[in-house]
Structure 1
Amino acid sequence: MNDYRVRLYRTCLYQVPAAVGVWCRAEDLDGVDGQIRRSLTAYQREDVRCITDPVALDQYLADYVTWLCPLAVLAAAANIAAWQNGPRTGGIIGSLGGEAHVIDEHMAEILPQVWCLSYAGGPGLLLQGSRQAAWKMREYLEYPGQQFTWDDVRLHLKQQSVSAYLYVTDGSGGEGILACGDEQKEERICLSDNNISF
């Protein structure tokens, strides 16, 4: 199984709190980290505070992530504190240009044993693990009437022996969580506060 690393970055886009999570091979992490840290706040495009369409906001995030991430980043997630200007979405997750084996509208294998689960309105999850682990997480996230906290999701990931993950909630309400974990460490950014935890 490939050795992947995931990392989170807190930033602001035109004074709006945002966060980006990246997925790369372990040997690429140092180079990726340096490039991203140098570029986080240099994005000069339309002021995100002027965007009111949910699809346009997600496209803005996708363009930002594509601009920000060097080629060694294989997948990424991002969210933004969209609730500051009304009930807008603001969360994306997925592969950056690689071939994906699409299972259906909610699930794809983007790398060998790396799965992407995504849902309109959130959440989104990248995980490295078996196909069975991916299906178990999908069943969990899609359970009718399920009201889960981040701690519930984290516990379920550990029960499935997932070796790396990147998780994002939609930014249109709640806390706006971006979380990740690999064999080195776990991190979580909550856009509604100023702390990085774990």
Structure 2
Amino acid sequence: MNKESPTGERNPRSAGWSWLTSPDGVILDGGALTFVRHTSVTDVFRGFDIDPGSARTMTAKQALADPVLRTAGFDEGPQWIRVAESGDWTVAVEYFQQKTHVDGISSHLAKDTDVVYIAANESEPAVVTWLSRGEYVFAFECGASYDSRGGRRRHMFDDAMSDAGLLEFGSGASIGDCAIAMMTILGQHHGFTLTPATVAGPLPTAYRTHRYAPPPPAFDRG
């Protein structure tokens, strides 16, 4: 995070998420990160309508060079994810795609648990959302020039967000710096983290070629 960033100056603990603006950061290239509490790797793949039995262990470099996966676009080609684990949380990593957001996958995954996701690119605000057991708890568009707070507990993080400069709309802070600060706040609240080494390293990776359809009833744990 650069020294001129309002969020960086006020939130030094955000260093643990500073990699989000690096080449390994995924989100600013149009990707997404989805954190799902107390859910297995298998069920996260199923939640994305991907057969977990088709997963191969690949590094990020291998996946991005794969002759099939490299043909994926935002809407066309294979829809693919890599899945990591971090404590009580399982993390779906999407490159150049945001199906957790645009297809509403996060809402299904949050039926019986907590889900936090961030989806972004370099030119539009980064959407950060917390869903819990079917409820829309909190949302914020990092880098927006207006007050984008939403959800049942939209003011829950006001103190921390104010300290980080996130409530000074139109301050000129970059989308990336705002995303780092917001993920720091949510990570500290929920107790999750994610390292660039984990994202770059070997992870189960799988794809589908069909359009998303909700998982079968057997996936519903309720």
Same-fold status (TM-score > 0.5): no
The structure with the largest alpha-carbon Rg is 2
Q: TM-score range by the shorter chain?
A: 0.3 to 0.5
Greater strand share, structure number: 1
Bigger proportion of residues as helix: 2
Length-normalised TM-score, structure 1: 0.36
Give the TM-score normalised by the residue count of structure 2.
0.32
